[in-house]
Structure 1
Amino acid sequence: MRVAVSGASGFIGSALVPALREDGHDVVRLVRRSTVHDSDIIPWDPAAGKIEASALAGVDTLIHLSGENIAAGRWNKRRMRRIYDSRVKSSEL
């Protein structure tokens, strides 16, 4: 199965990606900023709503792990909106 993972370099993603590969899955990583141009990286900019749709061809499933850090500050209305948008709006691409 071809799996796209956002947040692949985070706490959960950094353990999940190798486990998926070990199980025989073809994993591509959605990356916001990278100086590396590996064949398994798909650049995206969720804030700007940009992703190369053709790069997702053949992807069977998306595991969306990226988003605003929920422990980085007080929860007020503005912060809750940023948390929501970073998780929900970015997955609508």
Structure 2
Amino acid sequence: MKILVSGSTGFIGSALVPFLTSDGHSVVQLLRKPVATVNPTLTWDPAAGRLDAAAFEGFDAVVHLAGESIASGRWTAAKKE
């Protein structure tokens, strides 16, 4: 399968990507900042609030793991905003 993974450099994503790759899947990492990876990447700017919908064409699955880390402190109302 061809799989797009957001949050691929985080705690879970950094374990999931090698697992999927070793299982024979083609993985593309969705990143905010370009970094050196062994997998193809697709970058986007969340501050701009845009991602070309055509970028998602051809994927069999999308795994979304990106988000605010709740391990960095209490999950307060202010942090939710």
Answer whether TM exceeds 0.5 for this pair: yes
Contiguous gaps of at least 5 residues in structure 2? none
Cα distance in 2 between the residues matched to 1:11 and 1:37: 16
* Offset from partner CA, 1:15-61 (integer Å, 9 cap, x none): 11111111111110000011559771111123322223322210111
TM-score when normalising by structure 1: 0.72
Cα distance in 2 between the residues matched to 1:70 and 1:40: 28
Aligned residues: 81
The structure with the largest helix share of the pair is 1
3-state SS of the aligned residue for 1:58?
A: coil
Cα distance in 2 between the residues matched to 1:15 and 1:37: 14
3-state SS of the aligned residue for 2:74?
A: coil
Cα distance in 2 between the residues matched to 1:48 and 1:10: 22
Cα distance in 2 between the residues matched to 1:38 and 1:55: 19
Contiguous gaps of at least 5 residues in structure 1? 82-93
